[in-house]
Amino acid sequence: MIPPGMCYLLDAPGLQIVTPVNSWEMKMSDSIIADFRSDTITRPTPEMRRAMAEAEVADDGREGDPTARRLEQSAAALTGHEAALFCTSGTMGNLVAFMAHLRPGEEVIAERDSHFLRFEAGGATAVAGAVPRTLPGHRGRMDLEELAREIQAGSRHRPRTALIVAENTHNLAGGAVLDVEYMRQLWAVAADHGIPVHLDGARVCNAAVALGAPVKDLTSGCASVMVDLSKGLCAPYGSLLCGGEEFIARARHMRQRVGGGVRQIGHMAACGLIALEQMVDRLAEDHRNARLLAEGLHEKRPEVVDLDQVQTNMVLLDTGPLGVTAAALCERLASRGVLALPMESHLVRFVTHRDVTAEQVAAAVPVILGVL
Ligand SMILES: *Cc1c(COP(=O)(O)O)cnc(C)c1O
């Protein structure tokens, strides 16, 4: 028997999960010049640690946690939605959204390199029963005419398209931004067919800061949006799934189903409030540092970095012209104290975040160029 989701999980008895080079356990130099692996490595700020200790809390499975409620209201206002649900992680926020939008066997259309397809352990299929149909993207964008053609009503044979997913910023496209105009066009196509849009907005605050636009201009027309607190916003935990009252009530039920109802969750929500209220504008600093890094590398080695790709806090380095794999380059960089992640066989990702300063970037550039 094939267990649900096996196409992603490979966890049937007798099959082994093959783990590629674990770059998180790479041999590192003793002195780290800069850690560009991910904005998830950011630790809670001193204000967050204090807020955690002092948070007003109660059992969120009973009378409700007051700090979690405040966080949910704040996220709903930020994204232009009626309600929000505090989830354990971005992955859980996406999963719960799929469970609330779809019945098993219904179709989700998404860009081919979407985070939920590549990095969320197959949950959309294994748990929510989604049938993914993927379209190639350009800088994270699906072609909207192609998207309109792919939507199907469902029949005796065909699964019904029940959801469209977009990702902003797009992780594997190197933090690419979907702008307000594109989002409006996407909403129009979806509305024409009566299909909801879920936005994986793990880094939608980065997109808003890069565009100089309010977050809600990128999110209000979506049926749901997930905003992650534990990336550049520096909280240790959590995401918010935002949407209409009815949708969020259904999502709350689904969160319970996957064990995501947490009791005195206000301790974590207190960090989330600081993330949303105090950490969003700071993302501009990460974007400036990514630019600094990209320009430093491009100046000497224009063939490996495309400056147009660098819109937010990520820089992609193409190792193709160098004739080495991304994993090999990352190992060499690590031995000189610069940490980055191999994302694809020939793509290295550098992410800037609160724990990388402009001085560290300036120090890292000659080291990276030396290795190149
Ligand atoms: C990180 C990320 C997620 C998952 O978030 P976690 O909090 O790590 O579970 C989802 N989508 C995108 C685009 C991400 O970058």
pLDDT tens per residue across all 372 residues of the chain: 444 433 333 344 444 444 444 445 556 666 899 999 999 999 999 999 999 999 999 999 998 999 999 999 999 999 999 999 999 999 999 999 999 999 999 999 999 999 999 999 999 999 999 999 999 999 999 999 999 999 999 999 999 999 999 999 999 999 999 999 999 999 999 999 999 999 999 999 999 999 999 999 999 999 999 999 999 999 999 999 999 999 999 999 999 999 999 999 999 999 999 999 999 999 999 999 999 999 999 999 999 999 999 999 999 999 999 999 999 999 999 999 999 999 999 999 999 999 999 999 999 999 999 999
Q: Could you give the angle at the alpha carbon of 322 between the alpha carbons of 352 and 141, nearest 5°?
A: 50
Please give the model's pTM, rounded to 2 decimal places. 0.93
The CATH number of the domain covering residues in 7-31+282-371 = 3.90.1150.10
Closest atom of ligand 1 to 231 CA is 1
Candidates 24, 37, 91: which one to mutate for ligand 1, based on the most atoms within 8 Å of Cβ? 91
Cβ of residue 286 lying under 6 Å from some atom of ligand 1 = no
92 CA from centroid of ligand 1 (Å): 9
Beta bridge partners of 119: none
Instruction: Report DSSP letters for 136-191, one per residue.
Output: -EETTEEPHHHHHHH-----SSSPPEEEEEEESSBTTTTSBPP-HHHHHHHHHHHH
Whose Cα sits closest to atom 10 in ligand 1?
A: 90
Cβ of residue 252 lying under 6 Å from some atom of ligand 1 = no
Cα separation of 299 and 309, whole Å? 15
The CATH number of the domain covering residues in 46-278 = 3.40.640.10
Residue-range domain boundaries for the chain: 7-31+282-371, 46-278
Neighbouring CB atoms inside 10 A of 177's CB total 25
Cβ of residue 204 lying under 6 Å from some atom of ligand 1 = no
Cβ of residue 200 lying under 6 Å from some atom of ligand 1 = yes
- For residue 215, the Cα-to-chain-centroid distance in whole angstroms is 15
Whose Cα sits closest to atom 3 in ligand 1?
A: 90
In terms of C-beta density within 10 A (0-12 exposed, 13-18 middle, 19 or more buried), how is residue 283 classed? buried
97 CA from centroid of ligand 1 (Å): 14
81 CA from centroid of ligand 1 (Å): 21
pLDDT at 293: 98
**CB 261, CB 111: distance < 8 Å:** no
Cα separation of 69 and 309, whole Å? 38
**Ordered alpha helix ranges (H), the chain:** 6-9, 46-54, 66-79, 90-101, 115-118, 123-126, 144-150, 180-193, 204-211, 216-219, 245-257, 266-278, 283-300, 326-335, 358-371
Cα separation of 99 and 292, whole Å? 41
Cβ of residue 167 lying under 6 Å from some atom of ligand 1 = yes
Neighbouring CB atoms inside 10 A of 183's CB total 22
pLDDT at 28: 63
Cα separation of 118 and 343, whole Å? 11
Q: Are strands 224-228 and 239-243 parallel, antiparallel or unpaired?
A: antiparallel
Cβ of residue 170 lying under 6 Å from some atom of ligand 1 = no
Amino acid occupying residue 353: H
Task: Answer left, alpha or beta for residue 353, where phi above 0 means left and psi between -120 and 50 means alpha.
Answer: beta
Amino acid occupying residue 301: R
153 CA from centroid of ligand 1 (Å): 30
Q: Could you give the angle at the alpha carbon of 179 between the alpha carbons of 177 and 180, nearest 5°?
A: 150
Cα separation of 262 and 253, whole Å? 13
369 CA from centroid of ligand 1 (Å): 30
pLDDT at 27: 60
Same fold, 7-31+282-371 and 46-278: no
Cα separation of 26 and 334, whole Å? 7
Residue with tokens 């959590």: 238
| Helix, strand, coil percentages in the chain from 3-state DSSP, rounded to 5 | 45, 15, 40
Please enumerate in sequence order all residues whose Cβ is within 8 A of that of 259, keeping only pairs 6 or more positions apart, or say none.
none
pLDDT at 207: 98
